Amino acid sequence: MRRVVFNRNFSVAVVVSNGKRSARWYSEKLGFESSVQGHWVTVWPKGAAWKIHLCQQRKGKLEPGNTGISFYAKDVEGTVKELKKRGVKFETDFTKSEWGSLAMLKDPDGNDIWINEDAP
């Protein structure tokens, strides 16, 4: 069987109601880089080898849900404090448990974004 090889870059698609508006939110609130090339709108943390593709809903009602987006941070509590200064509201504030620290916020379309403690 022939081996399949993928390159290292990838993106995760997240359905949003307005790609450009969502890109602005990710840039202003989370400090992400962004690129808008027609309908192809992407955002990513500076230096990351991956991107989030903000797929604009074409028609019908957008149904937000648990997208399972998780970002790791070395200092979850400090990250939450900084994001609050930028006006980000948290659904689950900074929480520390026996397995690590976490927090959860929502993007403008109600998609869940988790911030988890980066494993040492």
Query: Residue 84 belongs to a domain with what CATH number?
Result: 3.10.180.10
In a domain, 4, yes or no: no
Task: Tell whether 64 is covered by a domain.
Answer: yes
Decide if pLDDT at 91 tops 90. Answer: yes
Q: If we measure between CA atoms, which residue out of 47, 49, 8, 53 comes closest to residue 26?
A: 53
Q: Give the pLDDT band of residue 83 (cuts 50, 70, 90).
A: very high
Q: Is the pTM here over 0.85, yes or no?
A: no
User: Does residue 2 fall inside a structural domain?
Assistant: no
Q: What is the mean pLDDT of residues 56-66?
A: 67
Q: Is the model more confident about 29 or about 119?
A: 29
Per the CB < 8 A criterion, the answer to whether 100 and 114 are in contact is no
Residue-range definition of the domain harbouring residue 58: 10-117
pLDDT of 59 over the 90 cut: no
Phi, psi for 3 (deg, rounded to 5) = -75, 140
Q: What three-state secondary structure class fits 8?
A: coil
The number of folded domains in the chain is 1
Stretch (H or E) spanning 70: strand 69-73
Please name the helix (run of DSSP H) or strand (run of DSSP E) that holds residue 29, with its range, or none: helix 19-30
* pLDDT interval class at 37 (50, 70, 90): confident
